[in-house]
Structure 1
């Protein structure tokens, strides 16, 4: 609803029509044929309060001037319509178990918190015709496999992350499952969709794996951390020296000799066990 002060004038070639919806009400107005406009003289402006101004033609109504700013306002009703935002093809037919990844940090956390559920990582590009053609079928498979998590990564928006993960062909898919981490990866199109269905059937069966979800490989985490896409806290603290020391500790435990673990020392560039 627009508010216009009583006494305003409208300049233009077309003459507006005042439509008084209250029977018996009077209105003091005058049509100025010389300028093709309508003026309200504010002596009785409350009588037109809340009524509607109908304009049959909007041409020429580019200049509005207020003649009496101190008079009571007149309300004119109108309708504004805004066109709906067009939905992008990769946003259509999405299922509740389909999530678009916004950052590398979010990807790592999703994979680590998936438990024993199968996670399908889908790399796509808005300009990829094969990705667009395959999208409806992926949505159908997501609907029929509600216990599987489908994560999508927009290649155009996350190129550094895709480079670090060695993704160079689209559409591209990675399958992750619990403590096994990545169980397979491949590229497929509509013509080779059977490859996707077979992987889904093989790795989507109910089972229980030992240990927490592995997610990305350590070298991939290091690559992402090196370009500040994830926190360094997400990279496991392991090194060949530490692993060697641990192997020695475990070997000592299984032998007839005892070892004081508090005396195990790790020196940079050289692993040394002292008893």
Structure 2
């Protein structure tokens, strides 16, 4: 029985363990077991019998380790950050990515911010400057999402301060959370910083500038000085050509008055008016009468 067991089960098991070692795995069966030798036809039947009596598998071949288990072991040794970057582990949503509405958008560049403001038309646009490490920004985010849901006609733009520091410096944004409101031809209508404690500022500004308005001119967006500051920033891939300065038109009646003015250095004497001449003659006549009476 021991001879049959050795030929049928023992050597295939050993060859399987050798294949596992070649594949990079590990076999739980040691190369040398006390009681018998792995060489063919060289083992002790007595000790093998005692070993078989202690086994619960009745001398059947059992595979303890599969190759996929080794892959899992190697996978666990990869850093978590690398697994997230390569997509092996699904990345959870960040707090500023939760609760976003269809009218909320994250700005990707300075050009994207400028284009989003210009393409908004007469809509009210709220630019939200936030930072992932700002506790006030995190606490205020759910309420901003609620306002966006209640005002679907208002466009909300999110600017991540950590990703766009240079752009924020050019726009003079140095405190967070910070908000700027833009509307059509008026351009920027208000700007302020608020938290949960001063959320009334945001509510009042939203109620004041949300009603429908009709702009008589083109959408303004960022101010001229802000556009120049962005284009002057070498860290930003943004180009802007200043608008040519046009002379202020002078009304026609003002031009007429200016042409009739007499220079101060002129020697031209103005003629005396008729009223002034008559008064002088009257005074001389009165003096003549007074002399005659004497």
- Counterpart in 2 of 1:232? 239
When normalised by structure 2's length, the TM-score is 0.58
**Aligned 8 A contact 1:14 1:60 in 2:** no
1:69-94 CA-partner distances (Å, limit 9, x unpaired): xxxxxxxxxxxx95421111111111
Alpha-carbon distance in structure 1 between the residues aligned to 2:156 and 2:68: 55
- Counterpart in 2 of 1:10? 20
The equivalent position to 1:124 in structure 2, one of 122, 130, 143, is 130
Alpha-carbon distance in structure 2 between the residues aligned to 1:111 and 1:61: 54
- Aligned CA distance change for structure 1 residues 61 and 111 (closer, same or farther; 3 Å): closer
What is the CA-CA distance between 1:108 and the residue it aligns to?
A: 0.6
- Aligned CA distance change for structure 1 residues 114 and 34 (closer, same or farther; 3 Å): farther
What is the CA-CA distance between 1:104 and the residue it aligns to?
A: 0.6
Task: Give the match's secondary structure for 2:125.
Answer: strand
Residues 1:92 and 2:135 are matched in the alignment:
no
**What runs of 5+ residues in structure 2 fail to find an aligned partner?**
1-15, 30-36, 40-61, 72-86, 258-294
- Counterpart in 2 of 1:180? 186
Alpha-carbon distance in structure 1 between the residues aligned to 2:191 and 2:237: 22
When normalised by structure 1's length, the TM-score is 0.62
**Aligned 8 A contact 1:13 1:59 in 2:** no
Residues 1:159 and 2:165 are matched in the alignment:
yes
Alpha-carbon distance in structure 1 between the residues aligned to 2:179 and 2:191: 6
**Aligned 8 A contact 1:14 1:59 in 2:** no
Structure 2 counterparts to residues 59-138 of structure 1, below 5 A: 82-138=88-144
What is the CA-CA distance between 1:58 and the residue it aligns to?
A: 4.8
Task: Give the match's secondary structure for 1:215.
Answer: coil
- Aligned CA distance change for structure 1 residues 88 and 55 (closer, same or farther; 3 Å): farther
Count of matched residue positions in the alignment of Structure 1 and Structure 2: 192
**Aligned 8 A contact 1:181 1:217 in 2:** yes
**Aligned 8 A contact 2:126 2:154 in 1:** yes
- Aligned CA distance change for structure 1 residues 158 and 82 (closer, same or farther; 3 Å): closer
- Aligned CA distance change for structure 1 residues 198 and 82 (closer, same or farther; 3 Å): same
Alpha-carbon distance in structure 1 between the residues aligned to 2:238 and 2:217: 23
- Aligned CA distance change for structure 1 residues 220 and 60 (closer, same or farther; 3 Å): closer
What is the CA-CA distance between 1:56 and the residue it aligns to?
A: 5.2
Structure with the higher fraction of residues in helix conformation? 2
- Aligned CA distance change for structure 1 residues 34 and 10 (closer, same or farther; 3 Å): farther
- Aligned CA distance change for structure 1 residues 99 and 253 (closer, same or farther; 3 Å): farther
Alpha-carbon distance in structure 2 between the residues aligned to 1:121 and 1:60: 50
**Aligned 8 A contact 2:20 2:27 in 1:** no
Task: Give the match's secondary structure for 2:163.
Answer: coil
Alpha-carbon distance in structure 2 between the residues aligned to 1:57 and 1:89: 41
**What runs of 5+ residues in structure 1 fail to find an aligned partner?**
1-6, 16-32, 36-53, 64-80, 258-275
Structure with the higher fraction of residues in strand conformation? 1
Task: Give the match's secondary structure for 1:232.
Answer: coil
1:127-156 CA-partner distances (Å, limit 9, x unpaired): 000000000110111111111000010111
**Aligned 8 A contact 1:126 1:154 in 2:** yes
